[in-house]
A = this chain, B = another copy of it.
Amino acid sequence: MSEDKKRGRRELKDSPEVKQDVFDAAVEVFARYGYGAAPVQKIADAAGVNKAMLYYYFGSKEELYNLIIDKGISALEGAVAAAESENAPLEERLRSFLTAYLSVVAAQPGLARIIYREVVGVGERARQTVADHFTGSIRRLADVLEQAQREGRLANVEASLSAYSLFGMANIFISSLMLTGRSLDIDTLVDHILNLFFNGAG
Give the B-binding residues of A (Cβ under 8 A).
32-37, 113, 116-117, 119-122, 127, 130-131, 134-135, 145, 154-155, 157-158, 161-162, 164-165, 167-173, 175-176, 178-180, 188-189, 192-193, 195-202
Contacts and interface: CB of A to CB of B under 8 A. Distances in A.
Contacts of A171: 168, 171-172, 175
A201 B201 contact: no
Given A35-B37, A157-B195, 10 more contacts: A34-B36, A113-B120, A117-B117, A119-B178, A134-B175, A134-B179, A164-B169, A165-B192, A168-B171, A169-B169
Given A154-B202, A165-B169, A179 B119 contact: yes
10 closest A-B pairs by CB:
A36-B37, A168-B172, A200-B200, A198-B202, A36-B36, A168-B169, A117-B120, A199-B200, A131-B179, A168-B168
Nearest to A163: B172
Q: Which of A131, A161, A201 gathers most chain B CB within 10 Å?
A: A201
A154 B201 contact: yes
Contacts of A168: 168-173, 175
28 contacts: A32-B122, A33-B36, A34-B37, A35-B37, A36-B36, A37-B37, A116-B119, A117-B121, A119-B175, A119-B178, A120-B178, A127-B179, A130-B179, A131-B180, A134-B176, A155-B200, A155-B201, A157-B201, A161-B192, A162-B192, A164-B176, A165-B193, A168-B168, A171-B171, A171-B172, A171-B175, A196-B196, A199-B202
Contacts of A154: 201-202
Nearest to A35: B37
